[in-house]
Amino acid sequence: MLLVGFMATRTGRWVRILTGAGMVLGGIAAGSPRGAVVALAGLAPLVSGALDVCLLAALSGHSVRGADIRRRLGLKDDEPLLRRALPRPSARAIMYLH
């Protein structure tokens, strides 16, 4: 339960993305059949982290969607994967941009 909650957070998603990317790059760099298997296995955490899907949650009876997991566990749901560096422009500023 605790692991599923962590995997649904922004930090957990980044851990999965970076782990998957490392596995893919390491597997490709190995240049062997085993490396190809590692690279293919690395696609699972990479894609699931990027799409906000936690396959491990299905084993504990939760939905696989990250937003549903966060809502069910009472975690903060409004955190996107990437933070915005700049504040949103006002409606008046948007009008002048067009």
Domain ranges of the chain: 2-79
pLDDT, position 69: 82
Residues 70/77, Cβ–Cβ less than 8 Å: yes
Point out which residues pair with 65 in neighbouring strands.
Answer: 53
Q: Which of 97, 95, 3 is nearest to 55 (CA)?
A: 3
Question: Residue 55: pLDDT band by 50, 70, 90 thresholds?
Answer: confident
Q: Which residues contact 73 (CB under 8 A, 6 or more apart)?
A: 1, 4, 5, 8
pLDDT at 22 over 90: yes
Question: Per residue in 59-78, pLDDT tens?
Answer: 888 788 888 888 887 877 66
Please state the separation of Cα 31 from the chain's center in Å. Answer: 27
CA pair distance 76, 12, nearest whole angstrom: 13
pLDDT, position 98: 59
